[in-house]
Structures are given as C-alpha cells and as structure tokens.
A and B are shown apart, each in its own frame.
Chain A
C-alpha cells in the first residue's frame, strides 16, 4: 500500500528558531499533499493544501508567512515553522493523495511530527 513518511518524528526547539518538517510519499507520486495540525485531545485541523509546482493554499486563520510550505517534487513537501513560539507546539501531520492508480479521494497519512517549542 501507499506509504507516507515524515521527518523528524519529534523535534524540540527554542523559541524564535525555525523548524522544517518533511513529508515524503515513498512509493507513489503525490501531486497534492495536505498539512494538518492537531492539539492534544482535539481533532485534526487542516492548515494548507500543497500542490506540486505551485503555491500552497492556506486555510483561513493560518499565517502563510509563518508556516512556509514547499512542494518542489512529486514525492516531497516541506513545512517550515518560522520563528516558532510555544503556542506552535503541536502534532503536525501530513497526508498525500495519489493522482493515478488509486482512488483519487484516498489520502494516505504520515506518522506525524511532534513539535515542542521551549
């Protein structure tokens, strides 16, 4: 089946620094990837839709200058949290949709990245 990986799985950083999270589709090409954020005991909230070769589409209330998304290839999307602050501490999860070979609506989720900002 389709596998999506994320790196790193956990990251701790100091307030004011930037953190980059990678999302890779391992055995399929993904023209569309999605980034979600999940706070403890809450649901997944869609942050942005990442399209290969074009600008990401951000959900209302998500700062595009703070959460930089790059989808430079069909297998890699990155999320950079710039000038991170403690309130950015969360579980960040990506998902990928394959354009061919599988159901177009099916999303495959990564294992998530736990970000802790001190």
Chain B
C-alpha cells in the first residue's frame, strides 16, 4: 500500500510473491520504454525494455507489458526476493532520443 509522507509510492510484498509495478507514460510518440532499478546511493540499473511494436516482453523473472491505448506500462517480478527491494522507474524515449523518467515506485520485500 501507499506510504504517507513519501514522494514515491510504495509497494510492499511478501518474499516469494509476485510483484506488479505500474507506470503511466505521457508521450504518445514515445516508442521505446525501459524499466530501471535503483538501489540507494547508486545509479539506475537496466532491467528490461520494450518497443512500441510489442505488447509483452519477458526476461529472467521479469515481464514488461505495454498498453499503448491507455499509455500504460507494467513490470511484473516473479517470486520476489529481498534483493529486489529498490526503487523502480519506468522511462520513455521518443524521437528526440531524450529519456524521460517516471516518478518511481519503492518496492519493499518482506522476508
């Protein structure tokens, strides 16, 4: 659930459960989308990407879903582990090659 007082929305899940992190993007012209993981005090780490000609892409334990109709992106993490605790950002890139980051979601994994 959400935590009051933080700028970032928070998702708490039990270890072993699946996590779903959602993101709404703004630019209908964006054609490349990326999910990043950021741990405290570190730079963003690439997780998975998807292009606008696809609606689903799977990686190891992660799946990204893209719904261009409603401009929505989601990241699914299977069998969430304590090491998955971090802030997750979606990002969109359009014709100008600028990458714009979403607000981010903090994921807490309870052991």
Give me the interface of A with B, judged by CB distance under 8 Å. 4, 6, 32, 34, 36, 41-46, 49, 91, 93, 95, 97, 104-112, 114
Interface size on B, residues (CB 8 A): 23
Complex CA distance for A9 and B93, rounded to whole angstroms: 27
Q: Which of A43, A105, A106, A107 contacts B104 (CB 8 A)?
A: A43
Complex CA distance for A105 and B101, rounded to whole angstroms: 14
Contacts A41-B6, A41-B8 known; A112 to B32 CB distance under 8 Å? Answer: no
Q: Which residue of A lies closest to B5 (CB)?
A: A41
Q: Which residue of B lies closest to A59 (CB)?
A: B98
The SS class assigned to the A binding surface is strand
Contacts A105-B32, A105-B93 known; A43 to B101 CB distance under 8 Å? Answer: yes
- Please determine whether B7 and A112 come into contact, CB atoms closer than 8 angstroms: no
Chain A residue contacts of B93, Cβ below 8 A = 105
Complex CA distance for A76 and B4, rounded to whole angstroms: 41
B53 to chain A, nearest CB (A): 13
